[in-house]
Chain A
């Protein structure tokens, strides 16, 4: 079945540092890929998405590129802020149906210190 693997956390960075959070997936065909973010005390918010190979999703300075050859969707940001402190989840939606379930990775906690 479909699966998503995220790098182990937590991650602690200083403000303005470069961020990379690794995500790889296992799925048949061409799933849609997502990053969701969960700020403290809040629900899951869609951060960015990509629906086909080589697509780059971007939002709020974050970027991730859909790499079919490496089955990866790594999240990057050039300069993190304290307000980026949150839990980040990589997820995929398989090709089984247009609105089939999302499969999530374990999530990784990012803490950014001033």
Chain B
């Protein structure tokens, strides 16, 4: 069964460093998302992406965040200058264009900023 894959599964970075989280969505999907889950808290929406542009973003998704689809398969989230409060589990998701409302999630990348 097709699935969303994310790499790495765990990343540790120093405060102020740039990180790139990578995702390979399901191949025939056209809508892509990033969510995050700070330990013990709810899953929060960051950004959605369609047709090579951001379609919606939350207040969390400020100028230090960016997303890109550099080729036909990858979807990346870049955090330019990480802060301690960016430590969280980051989930990539994708959904198709057939009208089914559900999104399919990857395993997540646990980002730890020290």
Contacts and interface: CB of A to CB of B under 8 A. Distances in A.
Contacts of A106: 41-42
Interface in B37-77: 41-45, 48, 50, 55-56, 58
A101 B105 CA distance: 13
B91 A43 contact: yes
A100 interface: yes
A104 B43 contact: yes
Contacts of B33: 101-102
Contacts of A66: none
A86 B44 CA distance: 19
A62 to B, nearest CB: 15
A103 interface: yes
Per DSSP, chain A at the interface is strand
Contacts of A100: 48, 56
Nearest to A6: B42
A101 B45 contact: yes
B85 interface: no
Interface of A: 32, 34, 36, 42-46, 49, 51, 89, 91, 93, 97-107
21 contacts: A34-B102, A42-B107, A43-B105, A43-B108, A44-B91, A44-B93, A46-B104, A51-B101, A93-B103, A99-B95, A99-B101, A101-B45, A101-B56, A102-B33, A102-B35, A102-B93, A103-B45, A104-B42, A104-B44, A106-B42, A107-B43
Interface of B: 4, 6, 31, 33, 35, 41-45, 48, 50, 55-56, 58, 91, 93, 95, 97, 99, 101-108
Given A46-B104, A105-B42, 12 more contacts: A43-B4, A43-B91, A46-B103, A49-B101, A49-B102, A91-B43, A97-B56, A100-B56, A101-B45, A101-B48, A106-B42, A107-B42
